């Protein structure tokens, strides 16, 4: 369960977000303008902040900047109706951690919020080995094993699996994969990611009893051990 | 605004006034110069004549004495156009000459200098009027004083002539200036009023109106032609906006209607939880599709409104193309095709990397969707070549191509050729490529290769083909913020 603060001036959008997040089992508060939002974020501990860029009184980017100046490092997901490349860069430079252009699908937001919450808070928390079921990925040795079987991976497949395992148990969307594994910030119309996933799947799941890499319809993919 | 200020405020009035001023000053200057020089020249002549006569007379005096001088002067004075002479004895009594009256002090100061005096001429035919002359007095031995001078009548008449000419000239210039101004301002004001009236009609909503072009290729014609071109562009933009609106209505209506139908069907034919789940998931897919259309539209609009040069950096095209190929290789292989890449090393361009990547992706996706040959496997060629200062980035397939008549149309928003309507897609891919190419000062071009289609965009070549410090991130940076 996460404590989430939604700073959004449109009451309907804020209400929709809070309701959706609550249904997922999170606790969500809302603030209607930048100043209130900043005050709330500074006063109590939140796990995630969702900040709209255009806010009355104090705009979203200023909220984030002031928050970071106050040494508050709560992960921030920026929402924006402007939604294009340069705005994304501006948002991230201001101290945001992720950026989601409006209009967005709620599943996309959910996946990003959960990925943000799981992000290691500091470098010392970064694990060198990821394990899901009997699949292990050694980031130092750049090797991947399922049980005792060594699985050879291409560099890009390694990055893909690494990102999936970093978010093990969580849904990651195709857009998130494209952004984090390939660093592209646009939506292709074809199922280009699916092909990469199916290749990866054929390497790590083929010939084993329990599949680990699952497709979540309408959302994306997740890697998890269903046996547990 | 009164009628007068309306006229005096015009450019024509101000220009006329300025020209009038400049012209008057210049003409006055010229006339003054002519007058001064002529005067100088004539005075010189007077001095020379007077000096020569004085010298001659004093020679005669030396050789023949007073009598000879008196005789010579008496003879010379009878000429009507003669110089002025006066010879006096030591007591100041006039012995001979043709001067009736003269300021006496002139004779007393026999310093040899030339001076201007008023005098009256002697003689029956001459009326008793004062004239002006340049005279010089010379003292002869024996107390005689000899005065020789030249009348200044000619010189003064010439000055008067010039003065009169100047006055007439000035009046002429002012009259001409006013006439020019009236003509110009009437004509110009008329054209401008016409143009204003037409513009107002156009502003009031009739975008099909155009300014009159007289055909004499003057500055108003050029202005009118330019304004008409601008109006044409505005009309075109309005038209395309209307088209887009219509297209949006149509292209969004289809998935929305489908979505609604699915929901209605699910509600009517409730088949337990699984049935609902299935319906909801397909509704989600439709929603995704709608979102994609919206995002693509927003993105195109945003690219079209971006300032050229914004967020651009020198990029290595080879790396960019190889990374895209790396992303699409598996998909292409699954379809039984392969890439052929022809990009030379060190080809650098100043571009917005993200947008160029997306343009390339859109072209590759089009090749994947529509570029399959009837027989054999799909080959997608990616190439980048330097061509006359520009870099031409192209994506070719070996499929059926696009009929030439349709090649321009497919670049428009939502245009999908009939054969392709069955393929998934928004019909916005090429519009985006076109917008990206335009942002980079280039164009999207198609060429049928029989077999196959080559789509290319041209980009600016980076100045000085080095700049290796702008390599792409190696993928360890999660956010992908450009280092620039």
Query: Domain check: are B43 and B20 in the same one?
Result: yes
CA distance A196 to A154: 11
Q: Which DSSP string corresponds to B425-466? A: --S-HHHHHHHHHHHTT--EEEEE-SS-EEEEEEEEBPSSS-
Residues of A in contact with B428 (CB under 8 A): none
Give me the residue label for tokens 């995630």. Answer: A48
Query: Domain check: are B284 and B338 in the same one?
Result: no
pLDDT at B474 > cutoff 60 = no
- Give the residue with greater pLDDT, B308 vs B83: B83
pLDDT at A86: 62
Contact in structure between A85 and B352 (CB atoms under 8 Å): yes
CB contact under 8 A, B361 and A184: yes
The predicted model gives B362-377 an average pLDDT of 85
CA distance A49 to A117: 10
CA distance B345 to B215: 54
Contact in structure between A203 and A151 (CB atoms under 8 Å): yes
| Equal fold, A3-118 vs A127-223 | no
In the CATH scheme, what is the code of domain A3-118?
Answer: 3.40.50.2300
Question: In the predicted model, what is the mean pLDDT of chain A?
Answer: 85
Query: Domain check: are B429 and B313 in the same one?
Result: yes
pLDDT at B413: 64
**Strands lying side by side in the sheet with B390-396:** B338-343, B379-387, B390-396, B453-460, B444-448
pLDDT at B476 > cutoff 50 = no
Please state, for a pLDDT cut of 90, what percent of chain B lies above it. 1
Runs of H (alpha helix) within B83-218: 105-108, 153-203
Q: First vs last Cα of chain B: how many Å apart?
A: 57
Contact in structure between A168 and A133 (CB atoms under 8 Å): no
Q: Is residue B436 part of a domain?
A: yes
Task: Give the single-character DSSP code of B45.
Answer: H
Strands B390-396 and B453-460: antiparallel
Six token digits for residue B54:
């004085």
What are the backbone angles phi and psi of residue B85, rounded to the nearest 5°? -135, 150
Task: Give the single-character DSSP code of A190.
Answer: S
CB contact under 8 A, B368 and A190: yes
Provide the strand spans (E) within B37-127: 84-88, 94-97, 99-101, 114-121
Query: Domain check: are B295 and B376 in the same one?
Result: no
Residues 163-182 of A with CB under 8 A from B: 179-182
pLDDT at B110: 64
CA distance A75 to A46: 9
Domain at B231, CATH number = 1.10.287.130
pLDDT at B410 > cutoff 70 = yes
CB contact under 8 A, A186 and B369: no
CA distance A188 to A190: 6
CA distance A93 to A91: 5
Q: Which residue of B has its CA nearest to A160?
A: B475
Q: CB neighbours (10 Å) of residue B161? A: 11
Total structural domains within chain B: 3
pLDDT at A197: 92
CA distance B292 to B278: 21
pLDDT at B472: 39
Query: Domain check: are B320 and B293 in the same one?
Result: no
Q: Is residue B186 part of a domain?
A: no
Residue A221: pLDDT band with limits 50, 70, 90: very high
Task: Give the single-character DSSP code of A213.
Answer: E
pLDDT at A122: 63
pLDDT at B469: 39
**Of B248, B280, B304, which residue constitutes the final position of a domain?**
B304
CA distance B382 to B396: 7
For chain B, the C-alpha Rg in angstroms (whole number) is 50
The predicted model gives A123-142 an average pLDDT of 82
CB contact under 8 A, B327 and A180: no
CB contact under 8 A, A86 and B361: no
Beta-bridged to residue A209, according to DSSP, are none
Query: Domain check: are B256 and B112 in the same one?
Result: no
- Give the residue with greater pLDDT, B250 vs B198: B198
- Those residues whose C-beta lies under 8 Å from the C-beta of residue A79, and which sit 6 or more positions away, are A8, A50, A51, A52, A53, A100, A101, A102, A104
Range of the domain at B20: 11-157
CA distance A33 to A54: 9
pLDDT at A160: 92
Contact in structure between B399 and B449 (CB atoms under 8 Å): no
Give B103-143 pLDDT, tens digit per residue: 777 777 666 677 888 888 776 655 567 778 888 888 887 78
Beta-bridged to residue B88, according to DSSP, are B94, B145
Query: Domain check: are B287 and B371 in the same one?
Result: no
The predicted model gives B288-309 an average pLDDT of 77
CB contact under 8 A, B352 and A89: no
Query: Domain check: are B266 and B407 in the same one?
Result: no
Contact in structure between B457 and B443 (CB atoms under 8 Å): yes
Kind and range of the H or E run holding B379:
strand B379-387
Q: CB neighbours (10 Å) of residue A221? A: 23
CB contact under 8 A, A179 and B480: yes
Give B54-108 pLDDT, tens digit per residue: 888 888 888 888 888 888 888 888 776 768 888 888 777 888 888 877 777 777 7
Give me the residue label for tokens 């001078």. Answer: B149
CA distance A129 to A139: 6
Runs of H (alpha helix) within B78-152: 105-108
Tell me the shortest Cα–Cα distance from B297 to chain A, in angstroms.
12
Kind and range of the H or E run holding B131:
strand B130-139
Give A10-25 pLDDT, tens digit per residue: 888 888 889 988 988 8
Beta-bridged to residue B386, according to DSSP, are B391
Record: fold of A127-223: Arc Repressor Mutant, subunit A (1.10.10)
Contact in structure between A201 and A108 (CB atoms under 8 Å): no
Query: Domain check: are B274 and B365 in the same one?
Result: no
Q: Is residue B284 part of a domain?
A: yes
Partner residue opposite A84 with nearest CB, options B302, B330, B369: B302
Q: Tell me the domain boundaries of chain A.
A: 3-118, 127-223
- Neighbour-count burial of A29, counting CB atoms closer than 10 A to its CB (0-12 exposed, 13-18 middle, 19+ buried): middle
Q: CB neighbours (10 Å) of residue A190? A: 17
Tell me the shortest Cα–Cα distance from A118 to chain B, in angstroms.
14
**Of B118, B139, B157, which residue constitutes the final position of a domain?**
B157
- Give the residue with greater pLDDT, B225 vs B170: B225
pTM here? 0.60
**Cis peptide preceding A103, ω within 30 of 0:** yes
Q: Is residue B177 part of a domain?
A: no
pLDDT at A124 > cutoff 80 = no
Partner residue opposite B478 with nearest CB, options A93, A180, A188: A180
Partner residue opposite A189 with nearest CB, options B284, B287, B292: B292
Query: Domain check: are B236 and B294 in the same one?
Result: yes
pLDDT at B242: 79
Q: Is residue B99 part of a domain?
A: yes
Which range among A146-160, A197-211, B293-307 shows the weakest confidence by mean pLDDT?
B293-307
**Cis peptide preceding B451, ω within 30 of 0:** yes
Query: Domain check: are B313 and B432 in the same one?
Result: yes
pLDDT at B466: 43
- Going by C-alpha positions, the residue among A81, A88, A77 that lies closest to residue A102 is A81
Residues of B in contact with A218 (CB under 8 A): 281, 284-285, 288
The predicted model gives B207-224 an average pLDDT of 82
**Of B304, B331, B361, which residue constitutes the final position of a domain?**
B304
- Give the residue with greater pLDDT, A122 vs B332: B332
Q: Is residue B319 part of a domain?
A: yes
Helices (H) and strands (E) in chain B, counts: 9, 13
Strands B444-448 and A76-80: unpaired
Six token digits for residue B321:
């193309």
pLDDT at A206: 84
Query: Domain check: are B321 and B414 in the same one?
Result: yes
Residue B477: pLDDT band with limits 50, 70, 90: very low
């Amino acid at each position: 369960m996460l404590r989430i603060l939604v700073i959004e001036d449109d009451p309907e959008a804020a209400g929709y977000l809070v309701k959706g997040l609550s249904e997922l089992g999170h606790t969500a508060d809302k603030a209607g303008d930048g100043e209130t939002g900043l005050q709330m974020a500074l006063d109590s501990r939140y796990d995630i902040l969702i900040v709209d860029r255009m806010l009355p009184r104090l705009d979203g980017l200023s909220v984030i900047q002031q928050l970071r100046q106050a040494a508050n490092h709560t992960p921030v997901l920026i929402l924006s109706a402007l939604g294009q490349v340069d705005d994304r860069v501006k948002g991230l430079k201001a101290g945001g951690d992720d950026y989601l252009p409006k209009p967005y699908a709620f599943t996309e937001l959910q996946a990003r919020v959960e990925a943000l919450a799981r992000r290691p808070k500091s470098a010392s928390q970064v694990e060198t080995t990821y394990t899901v079921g009997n699949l292990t990925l050694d980031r130092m040795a750049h090797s991947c094993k399922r049980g005792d079987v060594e699985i050879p991976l291409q560099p890009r497949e390694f990055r893909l699996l690494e990102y999936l395992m970093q978010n093990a148990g969580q849904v990651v969307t195709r857009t998130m994969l494209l952004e984090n594994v390939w660093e592209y910030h646009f939506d292709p119309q074809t199922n280009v990611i699916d092909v990469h996933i199916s290749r990866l799947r054929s390497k790590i799941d083929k010939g084993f009893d329990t599949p680990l890499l699952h497709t979540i319809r309408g959302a994306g993919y997740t890697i998890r051990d269903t046996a547990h | 605004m009164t009628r007068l200020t309306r006229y005096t405020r015009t450019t024509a009035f101000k220009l006329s006034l300025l020209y009038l001023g400049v012209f008057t000053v210049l003409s006055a200057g010229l006339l003054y110069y002519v007058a001064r020089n002529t005067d100088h020249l004539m005075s010189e002549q007077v001095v020379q004549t007077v000096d020569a006569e004085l010298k001659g007379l004093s020679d005669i005096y030396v050789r023949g004495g007073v009598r000879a001088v008196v005789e010579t002067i008496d003879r010379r004075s009878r000429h009507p156009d003669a110089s002025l002479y006066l010879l006096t004895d030591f007591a100041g009594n006039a012995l001979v000459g043709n001067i009736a009256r003269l300021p006496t002090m002139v004779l007393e100061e026999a310093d040899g200098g030339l001076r201007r005096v008023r005098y009256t001429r002697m003689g029956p035919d001459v009326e008793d009027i004062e004239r002006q002359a340049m005279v010089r007095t010379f003292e002869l031995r024996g107390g005689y004083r000899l005065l020789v001078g030249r009348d200044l009548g000619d010189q003064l008449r010439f000055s008067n002539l010039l003065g009169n000419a100047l006055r007439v000239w000035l009046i002429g210039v002012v009259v001409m200036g006013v006439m020019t101004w009236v003509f110009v301002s009437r004509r110009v004001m008329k054209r401008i009023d016409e143009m204003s009236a037409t513009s107002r009609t156009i502003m009031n909503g009739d975008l099909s109106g155009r300014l009159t072009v007289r055909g004499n290729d003057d500055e108003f014609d050029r202005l009118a032609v330019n304004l008409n071109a601008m109006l044409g562009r505005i009309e075109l933009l309005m038209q395309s906006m209307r088209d887009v609106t219509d297209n949006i209505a149509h292209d969004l209506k289809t998935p929305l209607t489908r979505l609604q139908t699915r929901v209605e069907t699910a509600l009517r034919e409730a088949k337990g939880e699984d049935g609902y789940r299935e319906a909801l998931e397909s509704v989600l897919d439709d929603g995704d599709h709608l979102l994609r259309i919206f995002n693509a539209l927003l993105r195109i609009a945003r690219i079209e409104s971006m300032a050229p040069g914004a967020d651009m950096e020198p990029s290595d095209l080879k790396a960019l193309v190889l990374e895209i190929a790396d992303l699409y290789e598996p998909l292409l292989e699954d379809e039984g095709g392969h890439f052929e890449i022809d990009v030379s090393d060190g080809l650098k361009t100043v571009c917005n990397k993200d947008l160029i990547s997306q343009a390339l992706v859109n072209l590759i996706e089009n090749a994947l969707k529509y570029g399959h040959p009837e027989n054999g496997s799909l080959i997608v060629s990616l190439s980048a070549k330097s061509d006359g200062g520009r870099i031409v980035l192209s994506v070719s397939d070996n499929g059926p191509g696009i009929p030439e008549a349709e090649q321009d149309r497919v670049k428009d928003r939502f245009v999908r050729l009939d054969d392709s309507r069955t393929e998934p897609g928004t019909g916005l891919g090429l519009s985006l490529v076109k917008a990206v190419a335009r942002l980079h000062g280039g164009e999207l071009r198609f060429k049928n290769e029989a077999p196959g289609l080559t789509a290319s965009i041209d980009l600016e070549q980076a100045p000085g083909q080095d700049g290796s410090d702008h390599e792409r991130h190696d993928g360890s940076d999660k956010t992908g913020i450009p280092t620039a």
